[in-house]
Amino acid sequence: MTNYQRITFVIPCRNNLQYLKQAIGSIEEHYGDTHNIIVLDDASDDGSWDWIKELDSKENFTTYRNDSGDRVGHTVLYDIGFKLAKTPIVSILHSDMIVTPNYVQNMLKHLTPMSVVSATRIEPPLHPPGPEKYVRNFGMEVDEFTNQKDEFLEFVNSKELVDRDKTSMGIFAPWIMYKEDFTSIGGHDFLFAPMELEDSDIFNRFHLNDYKLIQSRDSYVYHMTCRGSRFKDGIEIEKEIPLPDGTIWYKPKDSEEYKQLRENKFREWWRKWHTDVLHDDNMMPIVPKRYDVGFVIKNCNTQLLSVLEPWCDTTYVDCEYDAYISFENPKSEYDISKRVYSLNSDITNNIEIRFDATKLTEQHFNGFIKKLPFIIEETNSIGSFNWDIFEINIKSLKTIDMIKPHFKNIF
């Protein structure tokens, strides 16, 4: 076997034992015991832990169990895995990903300090296509993939010749980096656990800290597509969506647990970043500057307050808001009582946005509220001015440091 640097694979899992076995099996098939593997179980109840703990008898394995009974999410487990890792380099791998023969070496050749290297995913048509991946169906279930494994490896070999040594700029799982770089940035922000926004958040922070975000175009995994976070026993197809190129995107049916988490965690995302999750076609994060913004809203109501509150730091309104605070506080890590005040309160934000709620339209929300950080950055001047229905008073352009996590982490 070729000699190259030993790394640690960190693999969180929850209730997807058959896919986990397949993922670990692919590492062992191609690399034997050359690399360390840390498997972290997130309160699974499908027998996964009984199988995982047997791996402790192997010298290159470390196992960990969240046995609280409640799911904590990949955020917490990723960070525990990094803390347990004993090699300088760590690779995050989802438990529904299958590595290929040259996965490690084709990642390492691009890795330097202050960089993160992502692999190229080959996926069945469960998510929309993109230039950063290959959409090719080699099975959505373990037995389906097993029956097409030879064909899959032939496909990989052919693509590796075409893509050899190529890179592009972007970031997504699976990725690899130096443990020291991960630790120095503070790990994940537990604000988003247990939900995939945790990845988008740390990708933004990597970008803000000037890490190089590199995709290795000739390092491949087959991705069974969210078997760890959304699905327990098999896939539920909701509908088939035709794409412009004539192919079909099979949209999966999300679990109720996932949909509720998604709604709550997106509200947390808006509170932290004041934008949607933004990236270019190659999945390179687009991160605007983060300012201290207050909305001063006349003729507001509780429904509109619910929509607008996450998009700024402080909301000043002339409607009753105690019930909203009581409803929202238990679902948020933020103290909502410190984010909503009466219209008569002293306004302490660096930037004030005043408007009449009766004049606010969907176009205003999409064209101004959701793009406000970019508008402020483009304006780049102190003073007062109007923007359609909005009165804007910029007292300071001081930005908020977003590199470190805002909430609890283990580093």
Q: Tell me phi and psi for residue 102, to 5 degrees.
A: -110, 20
Q: Do 86 and 178 fall into the same domain? A: yes
Q: Residues 6 or more apart from 180 whose CB is under 8 A from it?
A: 88, 113
- Check whether residue 162 and residue 265 sit in a common domain: yes
DSSP characters for 231-271? -SSS--EEEEEE-TTS-EEEEEPPPHHHHHHHHHHHHHHHH
55 and 93 inside one domain: yes
Would you say residue 287 lies in a domain? no
User: Could you read off the pLDDT of 309-354 as tens digits, one per residue?
Assistant: 999 999 999 999 999 999 999 999 999 999 999 999 999 999 999 9
Instruction: Based on DSSP, count helices (H) and strands (E) in the chain, helices before strands.
Output: 13, 18
Q: Is 80 exceeded by the pLDDT of residue 360? A: yes
Structure tokens at 381: 């001047």
Q: How far is Cα 263 from Cα 275, in angstroms, rounded to an integer?
A: 15
Please report whether residue 281 resides in a domain: no
CATH assignment of the domain containing 100: 3.90.550.10
- Number of structural domains (the chain) is 2
User: 225 and 87, same structural domain?
Assistant: yes
Q: Which domain holds residue 195?
A: 8-273
Question: Based on the domain organization, do 301 and 247 belong to the same domain?
Answer: no
Residues 347 and 258 in one domain: no
Residue 261 falls within a domain, yes or no?
Answer: yes
Give Cα 242 distance to the centre of its chain: 26
- Look at 217 and 47; give whichever has higher pLDDT: 217
Q: How confident is the model at residue 1 (pLDDT cuts 50, 70, 90)?
A: very low
Q: Which among 273, 302, 337 is the end of a domain?
A: 273
- Per residue in 64-86, pLDDT tens? 999 888 888 888 999 999 999 99
